[in-house]
Amino acid sequence: MSPALFDDLETPSALVDIDRMVANLDRMAAYAAAHDLALRPHVKTHKTPELALEQLRRGAAGLTCATALEAEVMAEVAGDLLVAYPPVDPRRIERLLALEAGVRLTVGLDSPEALRDLARAAARAGRTVGVLVELDAGMRRVGVPDPDAAVALAREAATSPGVEYRGIMFYPGHIRDRVEMQDAALAALSDRLGLFLDALGRAGLAPRVVSGGSTPAGWASHRIEGMTEIRPGTYIFNDRTTAAVGACAWDDCAYSVLATVVSTAVPGQAVVDAGAKALAREEIRGVDAPGLGALLDRPDVVLKTMSEEHGILDLSGTTWKPRVGERVRIVPNHVCVSVNLHDTLWGVRGEDVVTSWDVAARGH
């Protein structure tokens, strides 16, 4: 840690406001505890073992990973990992089975092919891997589409050597309304989940784990009958999308990209040195929030477009007149894909840079 002030950092750099992050971590931990839900944070957002440790210290039951590398990196700080991603491919299975024997490993999957390959390899490795049957809760991305398929897969998991049936999981990524408009979507999700739970119960396969919850829908998990666990990721930092749907306040955004104004030559706009290779291009869907990011201290100043190394700030609605060389902090629409573009996160308090972390699980 040599740099001590923003002025010492190059741009673009990824900043984490430590006090805001701590408040975000505490808030979700308190929510989960209050509703008796296991909290299993998804590490895809930060990919940083030191930050996973902060989640575990606050009572997280374990961690959620998407990639083999995330699992390998997080196995150094956590004894209980869920890989919430179909473990298809012999090389992926091999890496997961090579995790230290003390790690309690569970994977989510939605096909007999994935289950059989995993079970065979686990049995051969003398290991027992937990299985959550993933179901499609309405997002239409992955997950078995109906209760019969869930029962069939759960039964096969329950009776195959090498694996252990532990329950079900889903990802409610289709719930993109503002939080106060989510009642109908949550009721539909509850109803749909109920059909799966009934069918599994009748088959003698009642799930011990019922795992769900993105960050925006996570806060409503207590309203969904039967859930035992949530896997929010974004909540540690939040982002412009989380704020736009009302799942956090703007001042809860803990992550920003420090950038320098490099050009004001074209009237009505200012160009900063953070574009798609520092912020990532992601539009906000579901609610009306145009633009690709906004200034932390001036959320009305929006990135109207970007290219690889250029972000274009729209100055049409502000009296602010940025100078060439001035520094700004930008909150991206989607923090997870922005963090993934950086090798280092700088922990800041006010304008002091107090620590840094390697994004150790970036890449594949």
Q: Are 153 and 165 in contact (CB under 8 A)?
A: no
Complex with a copy of itself: residue 29 or 96, whichever CB lies closer: 96
Q: Are 64 and 230 in contact (CB under 8 A)?
A: no
**How far apart (Å, rounded) are the C-alpha atoms in residues 69 and 61?**
20
How many CA atoms within 13 Å lie on the side-chain side of 65?
Answer: 30
Q: In what order do the strands lie in the sheet with 63-65?
A: 38-39, 229-230, 209-212, 163-169, 129-134, 104-109, 80-83, 63-65
Q: Are 82 and 107 in contact (CB under 8 A)?
A: yes
* Site membership for a copy of itself, residue 322 (CB under 8 A): no
Of residues 141-180, those binding a copy of itself (CB under 8 A)? 141-145, 149, 173
Q: Are 332 and 280 in contact (CB under 8 A)?
A: yes
* Site membership for a copy of itself, residue 235 (CB under 8 A): no
Give me the residue label for tokens 């959320």. 299
**How far apart (Å, rounded) are the C-alpha atoms in residues 237 and 30?**
16
Complex with a copy of itself: residue 37 or 83, whichever CB lies closer: 83
* Site membership for a copy of itself, residue 280 (CB under 8 A): yes
Shortest Cβ 269–a copy of itself spacing (Å)? 8
Shortest Cβ 134–a copy of itself spacing (Å)? 8
* Site membership for a copy of itself, residue 282 (CB under 8 A): yes
* Site membership for a copy of itself, residue 240 (CB under 8 A): no
Listed ranges 26-34, 161-169, 241-249, 301-309: which one lies at the site for a copy of itself (CB under 8 A)? 301-309
**How far apart (Å, rounded) are the C-alpha atoms in residues 241 and 332?**
8
Backbone angles phi, psi at 27, to 5 degrees: -65, -45
Complex with a copy of itself: residue 86 or 162, whichever CB lies closer: 86
Cα of 334 vs its chain's centroid, Å: 10
Q: Which x/- pattern, by CB under 8 A, does the window 59-98 give for a copy of itself?
A: -------xxx----------------xx-xx-xx------
Shortest Cβ 166–a copy of itself spacing (Å)? 19
* Site membership for a copy of itself, residue 278 (CB under 8 A): yes
End-to-end CA distance of the chain: 27
Backbone angles phi, psi at 168, to 5 degrees: -130, 160
Burial 242-270 (b: 16+ CB within 10 A, else e): bbbbbbbeeebbbbbbbbbbbebeeeebb
* Site membership for a copy of itself, residue 136 (CB under 8 A): yes
Backbone angles phi, psi at 216, to 5 degrees: -65, -45
* Site membership for a copy of itself, residue 111 (CB under 8 A): yes
How many CA atoms within 13 Å lie on the side-chain side of 266?
Answer: 11
Shortest Cβ 82–a copy of itself spacing (Å)? 14
Complex with a copy of itself: residue 58 or 277, whichever CB lies closer: 277
* Site membership for a copy of itself, residue 44 (CB under 8 A): yes
Q: Among residues 72, 80, 117, 229, which is the contact residue for a copy of itself, using CB under 8 A? A: 117
**How far apart (Å, rounded) are the C-alpha atoms in residues 198 and 192?**
10
**How far apart (Å, rounded) are the C-alpha atoms in residues 331 and 173?**
21
* Site membership for a copy of itself, residue 321 (CB under 8 A): no
* Site membership for a copy of itself, residue 324 (CB under 8 A): yes
Complex with a copy of itself: residue 91 or 321, whichever CB lies closer: 91
Shortest Cβ 57–a copy of itself spacing (Å)? 26
Complex with a copy of itself: residue 37 or 270, whichever CB lies closer: 270
For residue 261, give the H/E element and its range: strand 255-263
Complex with a copy of itself: residue 67 or 106, whichever CB lies closer: 67
Q: What residues make contact with a copy of itself under the rule CB under 8 A?
A: 9-13, 44, 66-68, 85-86, 88-89, 91-92, 110-111, 113-114, 117, 134, 136, 140-145, 149, 173, 260-267, 269, 271, 273, 276-278, 280-282, 307-310, 312, 323-325, 336-337, 340-343, 363-364
